[in-house]
Structure formats: structure tokens, C-alpha cells
Amino acid sequence: MPVIIEIKTRTNWLITLIMGLALIVCLFIILILMPLMSIEETYFLSIFSYITKVIPFAAFFTLFLYFWLWNTFGKTVISIKPDSIRVRYKNKLFTSSKTFLKQEIKDIQTIDFRIEKTQLGTRYHFSWVDATYSVVLMNKDGEIRIINWVTKENADEIIGKIKKIWN
């Protein structure tokens, strides 16, 4: 029987509001404005014109929906078994679950990403609530972040549960 841990993403209400309005505007354009603008004399040309004009707005709608869903309703679900960890991102479009075997993982750590060094330079992350920590699995390829932007206490609690089951 696996142990399941659910971690809710931190909701940024400003992004939720702005993306919600952007979704409504895109939907209005796709369903109301574009059909009115693409009406032509022949029915086939109207449909073709509508489809070609709607593609960019549908792409923006999908992008806004991706961000809005994850920001508003997103959860990271970790299923811990004695021999593996399965990570699933609930309400995040275009992602599948990932399974990591115990023998592939060298270590599990809490890392502070307040100052993050990447190939392209250094990034500074500022947070009012000190939620700049990540739970990271170390394997032969490097580090894999499974949970991002939590407090140190939450990250240490998750690591404690994982190590308790694995030992």
C-alpha cells in the first residue's frame, strides 16, 4: 500500500484573476468575433477562413488555460512505495506521471533556490513567505526537482516521510 502525499501549489491570486480574464477574452474572440469576421459568400470558404483565423487565439487560450489551471487548482501528488516514488502533477496540462526507482536515486535533499545558478547565469527568487525550497532527487544524471517553491519545514517533512518508508 503506497503512502500518498498531496502538496497544493501556492495560489497567486493576481495571476488567477489576470489569466481568468484572458481566458474569457480569448473565448469571446473565438466564439463570437471570429465567426462574424469570417462570414463569406460560400460556406466552405467561411469555415476555412474561421479555422485559419482562430488558430492563434486557440493557442493563446491553451497557454492561458495551462497557467491558470496549475496556479489555481494544481497539486503535486507523490505516491511512495518501498521500491519507488511516483510523482504526478494534478491539474497540469500536458504532463504525465514520473516514476523513480529506489536503486536509481542516490540521495534526497532540500535545496534553497533563493539564488539559482544556471547555465545562462544567476537568477534571484524573492518570496515574502520564504517558500524558495525544493525537494530534489539526486541520481547519476544530476538533480531532479519533484516539488518546487515550498518552505523548508514542508520540504524537510516530505523528505522525512520518504526516508521513513525507504529505510
pTM: 0.82
Return the pLDDT at 41.
Answer: 63
pLDDT at residue 159 is higher than 90: yes
Mean pLDDT score, 118-147: 85
Q: Which CATH number fits domain 3-9+76-166: 2.40.30, 1.10.150, 2.30.29, 2.20.28?
A: 2.30.29
CA 9 – CA 6 distance, rounded (Å) = 10
Mean pLDDT score, 104-128: 84
Taking the CA atoms of 44, 45, 46 and 47 in sequence, report the sign of the dihedral they define: positive
Q: DSSP assignment, residue 91?
A: T
Q: What is the pLDDT of residues 32-86, one digit of tens each?
A: 988 888 776 667 777 888 888 899 999 999 999 999 999 999 999 999 998 999 9
CB neighbours of 56 closer than 8 A, spacing ≥ 6?
none
Angle 10-12-15 (CA atoms, 0-180°, nearest 5)? Answer: 140
